[in-house]
Amino acid sequence: MNYLHSRYQRSGKITDADMLYTLSLFALEPSRWIQRYEWRDLTDLEVCASGTFWKAMGDAMLIPYDVLPSSKSGWEDGLHWLEEVEAWSTRYEEENMVYADTNSQLANAHLEVIFLSLPPRLMYVGRRVISVILGERLRRAMG
């Protein structure tokens, strides 16, 4: 994975903050999804295990955590790491997740692939369902 990203990191197309934000999505979204749509919440132990796993993945990818408050002193456990990553990623989104024409083009291209086998008359409904799932900030950024 480091090899795949290295070329883009060297050219400045992917920053350390971008890498940490993407890692935060993998670490946080499954729990958020489960909390919203599943029949039970994850236990603290399950969330802690997820945080521990994703922190280790970030370590293996050499993603720096220096923007997180406990980067020097260390984290108590996976829950502590997730809390700090969540607070940081929320600020990152507020600063960086803004509308751009390229975002809209990318969203539309993805939706065309997702709805490839959907009858055209149902595409409108499908687009509305997806936009509800995305959340307000992402929906605005994607247009």
* CA gap 75, 31 in Å, rounded: 20
Residue 81 region, left (φ>0) first, then alpha (ψ -120 to 50), else beta?
alpha
Tell me the mean pLDDT in the region 16-39: 95
* Residue 27 pLDDT > 90: yes
pLDDT of residue 123: 85
* Residue 95 pLDDT > 90: yes
* CA gap 53, 42 in Å, rounded: 15
Tell me the mean pLDDT in the region 70-78: 97
